[in-house]
Amino acid sequence: MSEKNKLEKALTGAEASAEAMRQINPDVVAMYPITPQTPIIQTFAKMVADGLVDTELIRVESEHSAMSATMGASAAGSRAMTATASVGLALMFEVVNAAAGMRLPITMSIANRALSSPINIHCDHSDSMACRDAGWIQIYSETGQEVYENTLLAVRLAEHPQVQLPAMVMQDGFVTSHCLTKVKLCNDEVVKNFIGEFKPQLKLLDLNKPICIGPLELFDYFFETKKQQVDAMKTAKSEYLNVGKELSKITGNEYKYFEAYNIEDADAIIVVLSSTAGTVKEVVDEMRKDGKKVGLLKPILFRPFPYEEVAMVLHNAKEIAVLDRSESFGANGPLYGEIKNALYDSQSRPRVQSLIYGLGGREIFKTDIKKIFDQILDGKEITEKYIGCR
Amino acid sequence: MNKKSHKEIAIGGTIDKPATSLEYKTGSWKIFHPQIDFSKCINCHFCVHFCPDDCFIVKEGKMNNVNMDYCKGCGICAQVCPKKCIKMEKGDPDPENVRKE
């Protein structure tokens, strides 16, 4: 796609998300505000008011209702979207699982924020990580640009006839959602063609073919319905790459399971999700100038998780540090658990160390990351496992 | 009834055609089934009306037999019978337990 078909704008991550929604032009959006997601729906609501989209906006009384209305709209046969964060996602949780179980291809934007208590409005990943087993595709974004592109990809992947699963697209609350960066938008028509028409296989409002969705299934069929979800997730993994290739044609960017930054010859690798990956890249660049073999692995597709592919790129490393921005109390951090799991079958089995950082928006600095690299390059055990925690 | 595999059913538990509940034979849930002593039955129809699954079959105004495909064995019929002529029994229901006269 030539550059003339692109428009460069200064957008926050939240606005990038809303711009993607404008171009997708969903039939229904049910929404309830919550910090730091509010600017997504606020920007989109203005677009609706200005007549830029045909969307029917439903202002509901809670997130449980937001997801319920989105689910109803999707089941009826319309393209439906919503957005939330933190305790809003927690309140949705019952319906989040139901949407996946009913195989409704909803796309939802998440501005990651800590879960209560104590109440905290800042970024960590405990909200979306609490939903990692809910049967949704999960895509984590580093920048506003990625938020925009991942949202487009998510809609196509969710609605793929062999996938039919809901998808959530994550961005770091405040760090990405409220930060103004340069975002290249594709031409509206180009996106419209990429997204295409939503063609549900079964819809409640087809009066010529009455159906019943979400019925009772006991010990005789429940298990089979879950197995279908398992298989759909497997398909989603391969179709992610295919949809990504199509999206590449209009954006010129690549869509891989993860971003591997300077890791081919790296002795020491940090694995981290979302915006912190940007900080790590800066440190990698600086340390590479000093001849230090360091690299970054930034997983993008977290559900389904690409175990084999992650093992392929990590198994040559000597030392790996995995940075989790959420705690799994009494267990390993969610990302650390997956990385270690991926490496169990590799011959070399490099050492993997677990670090927790940034809970409730606690800052992480380049100096913190350099200290981690310095320690693991020396083959040492990292002394500070809860970065910046007193 | 032969149960279908995950590849043979509609996705998400969706029931893709109407009026299929008759195919769902809930009678497989029961442990006890009603055994009726027709010699004592006064044909009051208490069992017919109290049965939550509408399993009692009426022929020419008389309670005739029980549709075991849907009887879950709850025993309400035996409780409400004024003549106590319905007993809840274990084992396979007797297909010959039908009003004869």
pLDDT digits (tens, 9 = 90+) for A297-333: 999 999 999 999 999 999 999 999 999 999 999 999 9
What is the CB neighbour count within 10 angstroms for residue A68? 18
Going by pLDDT thresholds of 50, 70 and 90, the confidence category of residue B1 is low
Q: What confidence score (pLDDT) does residue A2 get? A: 56
| Nearest CB neighbour to A224, from listed B6, B15, B18 | B6
Going by pLDDT thresholds of 50, 70 and 90, the confidence category of residue B21 is confident
A115: left (phi over 0), alpha (psi -120 to 50) or beta: beta
Is residue A117 scored above 70 in pLDDT? yes
Q: What confidence score (pLDDT) does residue B18 get? A: 87
Is residue A20 within 8 A of residue A151, CB to CB? The reply is: yes
Distance in angstroms (rounded) separating the CA atoms of residues A291 and B38: 96
Chain A CB contacts of B11 under 8 Å are 103, 164, 201, 225, 228, 232
- Candidates A202, A203, A223, A234: best to mutate against B (most CBs of B within 10 A) is A202
- Cβ–Cβ gap A211/B16 under 8 Å: yes
Q: What confidence score (pLDDT) does residue A5 get? A: 67
- Cβ–Cβ gap B12/A214 under 8 Å: yes
Nearest CA in chain B to A223: B6
Q: Is the peptide bond before A36 cis (omega within 30 degrees of 0)?
A: yes
Chain A CB contacts of B9 under 8 Å are 221, 224-225, 228
Out of A31-45, A247-261, B6-20, pick the least confident. Answer: B6-20
- Cβ–Cβ gap A103/B16 under 8 Å: no
- Cβ–Cβ gap B12/A164 under 8 Å: yes
Looking at residues A47-59, what average pLDDT do you find? Answer: 98
Residue B64, classed as helix, strand or coil, is strand
**Between A49 and B16, where is the model more confident?**
A49
pLDDT digits (tens, 9 = 90+) for A72-114: 999 999 999 999 999 999 999 999 999 999 999 999 999 999 9
DSSP secondary structure of A284-309: HHHHHHTT--EEEEEE-EEES--HHH
Q: Are strands A6-11 and A181-186 parallel, antiparallel or unpaired?
A: antiparallel
Distance in angstroms (rounded) separating the CA atoms of residues A376 and A362: 23
Q: Which of A173, A233, A161 is nearest to A17 (CA)?
A: A173
pTM reported for the whole predicted model:
0.92
B:15-44 residues touching chain A, CB 8 A cutoff: 15-18
Q: What confidence score (pLDDT) does residue A322 get? A: 98
Chain A CB contacts of B3 under 8 Å are 220-221
